[in-house]
Chain A
Amino acid sequence: MLESFFNSFPLLLGSGNFLTIIFVIALGLLIGLFVGALPGLTTLMAMAIVLPISFFMDPLVGIPFLIGVYKGGIFGGSIPAILVSLPGTGASVATTFDGPPLTKMGKGRKALETALFSSVIADFSSDIVTILLIGPIALVALLIGPPELAAILFLSILIISSTSSGSVGKNMIMLAAGLFIAMIGQDPIAALSRFTFDVFELRAGVPLLPMLIGLFAIPEILINIETKAKEFVKTKLNLKKEEKLTWEEFLKLRKTILRSTVIGTTIGMIPGVGQVVAAFVGYAAAKNSSKTPEKFGKGELEGIAAPEAANNAVNGPTLVPLLTLGIPGDNITAILLGAFIAHGLRPGPELMSEQGSIVFAILLCMLIANILFLILGYFTMPLFSKVVTIKKSYLIPLTIIFAFAGSFVFRHNPVDLYFLLFFGIFGYILKKLQFDVTPLVMAFILAPSLEYAFGQTLSLGDDNVLMYLLSERPIAALIIVSTPVITWKLFQRSKKLRDVATSLTSSQVKSS
């Protein structure tokens, strides 16, 4: 394998194609970035459209092109999340906690740059880890089967719920609500209808993106409208010189970025978990380790760095099952698989042994994409951050247009607009009553996978699941056993944090 690695360099540099490759990656990054930044247009769509174009290119040009679109798109979704609280994907939801408050303080550019640097550094690091450890990571992918996945997902839900702000009871009610909403529709295994009240439109369940946009973007919009035509960004500052991220601020973030990179890389190795969990766990971990957790959610730069780094660190390891086993982990890797196949490459064990240098060349292109993105991003971020300086009376209706268009094109189903409205009003009420919707969103996103993995485990375990777990799946058993311990510790910690917060509030009340 080492030989393949070293052979990839001449392959990449020598073919005379190198400049074309660089150009094409940059082009892909820009396309992905703009598509991702348009709420409602997903990276997946962009890749699907670009796919046929890449068919006509050389494999070593076409595939990096797609990878460029991929990386640009993943980041692009964070831009509307930060600026107008419009999450493009589940992964950018965690960025809507601290992004919009920062934007309203006039620190939009700072937030965008934080997101950019965190994402690129994390992505780059995880790509290097992937290149170095591609073999072991593939082994890990094989070891994680349904029982392990079920245990991990269950643990993740608990971790994230227990570190949410607010009272335990309210959070658990939110969790239950998320599970309920996820349940509506067909069950993931046998496709039996549950709680669809004989409404055909509900058979496919509640759509993810309209719900997310409804829960996060619409309440922001309504809150902004409460005070009509005032400026969106509180500006007593001179906006000609928008605040850049300073070197000192960046240095303070390095621990968070490192922690999130580790979290994201680890989660990336586990097939079936994904970027959303990584972002939320990264956020929760940062909040937990911070000395000032109450600042999270009010405009704390760490609150941007943490989820952004984590969700980008997933990108590298996620490709491993595709490259080494030929198994796509999600929709995006499925498109990459199609691209590989259309170019006559067949990812899998054969590809690694016979044409390993191509695989490594592609991984190197990912590193190049990261460096290019840093440069491109640095110049385009100021442009984006200027968007929110337009008058609120224009910005809000335009944001609404995007929210609706984005929700509509998710499934091309007009019913989704009503879902959008419903969750918008629901989210507004929840926000006003100071509920933390994180457990709801997490439960909604993870419940189907959890239920599926659990059902698979029951099927594999046949009559005696307990024996099956103990005898054939020690890893799962280990995780299950440690779950109550970890959860208890987290509950204790967050209770401590809550007591601190309560005493702070009451002392504020006393002194006012």
Chain B
Amino acid sequence: MNNLLKTLIAILAIINFSWIAKADYPEKPITMVIPFGPGGSHDLNARVFTSIIPQYLGNAIIVKLVPGASGQTGTAMVAQAKPDGYTLLFTHNYVDQLQHHVKKLPYKPLSDFVTVGRLNYAAACMIVLSKSKYQSVQDVFDAAKSSNGKLKLGHSGMWGATMVPMAQLMSWGKVNANLTPFKGGGPMVKGLLAGDVEAVLHFPSVIKGQGSKVRTLACGAKEKSLGTPPTFEELGFTGQIGYMDRILMAPAKTPPERIKILQDALSKLKDDKTFKKFMKRLGENMKFMSGPDYEKIRAEKSNNYKSLVKQMTKG
């Protein structure tokens, strides 16, 4: 009996009991919810990001994948979580600023979340098969017009990162086309390669893998690695078309001093050599934007999407 007691005391000695009280933030690992499934670009970016940030933050950030309902399940989970700075959301602009215009949500993205920072963005490009006759975005538009709206275009999900820019372009160019959905970027590219659809939008990191099989017509930003095709802006389409911002959000009621700690860690992270190396390998850029700066453009983007949706759905 004595031995047992001694062992118990020994064990208890190493266990740290602590009331969940205020201490130095972060004094335990932080949870970062990703409202998408595994294997996507957010997942990959997050893995790189979370493997390096502990040194700047003082504690770990752990990824929690909560897919479902086009991002609603994960977002709702963070909206309802305790705003103590230990639960964050890693999402993108279409879920954050557009979705509430097309769906009834149990939370209000703009008022329930505040931006910690934009990690980077990915700018989509329009691609066609190299063996096709399209040499420019205008060619595609002409084909759409002459086929009376029957031209087949593809996208990877309703109101998603490859569909919204496509819709924006079509609305700018005042053309109609047949938009076929695919279950994600992979099947969408396969659809292009197989000739099921004529043109799609996708991100440079994936396009590079296709090599000479595809031709890039235009991009959301200057892409040297793809031969610097014209940007959408240069062609006359304003408004950051095709940008998928990868943004880290916190529940709005999180104490501001904790958000500041996160933001400081992020800004140190972006200069880290290993981080830059891995992001380069992933093919992602490092266009970081601080939380406050992003907040300034967030409401405006939301309004842009609102008018886009209105225009697209008025039938």
Where the two chains meet, the residues of A that have a C-beta atom closer than 8 Å to any C-beta of B are: 44, 48, 51-52, 55, 141-143, 145-146, 185-186, 188-191, 200, 203-205, 271-272, 321, 325-329, 331-335, 337-338, 341-344, 346-351, 411-413, 449, 452, 455-456, 459-460, 462
Contact = CB atoms under 8 A, between A and B. Distances in A.
Contacts of A205: 68-69
A494 B115 CA distance: 60
Across the A-B interface, the 9 shortest Cβ-Cβ residue pairs: A334-B39, A204-B68, A348-B209, A350-B211, A326-B209, A327-B186, A459-B180, A52-B51, A204-B69
Contact of B187 (A48, A327, A346, A347): A327
A333 B50 CA distance: 21
B283 interface: yes
11 contacts: A44-B38, A48-B47, A52-B51, A141-B190, A145-B190, A272-B187, A327-B189, A329-B186, A334-B38, A349-B211, A350-B210
A341 B103 CA distance: 35
A331 B70 contact: no
Contacts of A321: 186, 190
A335 B40 CA distance: 8
Given A48-B43, A143-B194, A325-B210, 17 more contacts: A48-B47, A48-B63, A48-B65, A52-B51, A145-B196, A191-B159, A204-B73, A271-B187, A335-B39, A343-B281, A344-B281, A350-B210, A411-B73, A412-B77, A449-B183, A452-B181, A452-B183
Nearest to A185: B69
Nearest to B196: A145
B150 interface: yes
B205 A145 contact: no
B312 interface: no
Given A191-B158, A203-B72, A326-B206, A142 B194 contact: yes
A396 to B, nearest CB: 28
A456 B181 contact: yes
B299 interface: no
A412 B38 contact: no
Contact of A327 (B77, B178, B190): B190
Contacts of A335: 38-39, 43
Most A CB contacts (10 A, CB to CB) among B47, B63, B187, B197 go to: B187
Given A342-B281, A349-B210, A204 B72 contact: yes
Interface string B102-142: 01001000000000000000000000000000000000000
Nearest to B180: A459
Interface residues of B, number: 55
Interface string B69-88: 11011001100000000000
B182 interface: yes
A338 B43 contact: yes
A460 B178 CA distance: 8
B187 A341 contact: no
A341 B284 CA distance: 11
B66 interface: yes
Contacts of A331: 37-39
Contacts of A145: 190-191, 194, 196
A186 B104 CA distance: 13
B186 A347 contact: no
Interface in B198-222: 205-206, 208-213
Contacts of A52: 47-48, 50-51
B44 interface: yes
Contact of B282 (A141, A325, A341, A350): A341
B194 A341 contact: no
B226 interface: no
Nearest to A352: B211
Contact of A342 (B44, B70, B193): B44
A155 B209 CA distance: 34
Interface in B1-57: 37-40, 43-44, 47-48, 50-51
A185 B76 CA distance: 16
Nearest to A344: B281
B209 A460 contact: no
B252 interface: no
B152 interface: yes
B66 A413 contact: yes
A98 to B, nearest CB: 31
A326 B189 CA distance: 9
B70 A200 contact: no
B179 interface: yes
A338 B196 CA distance: 26
B186 A186 contact: no
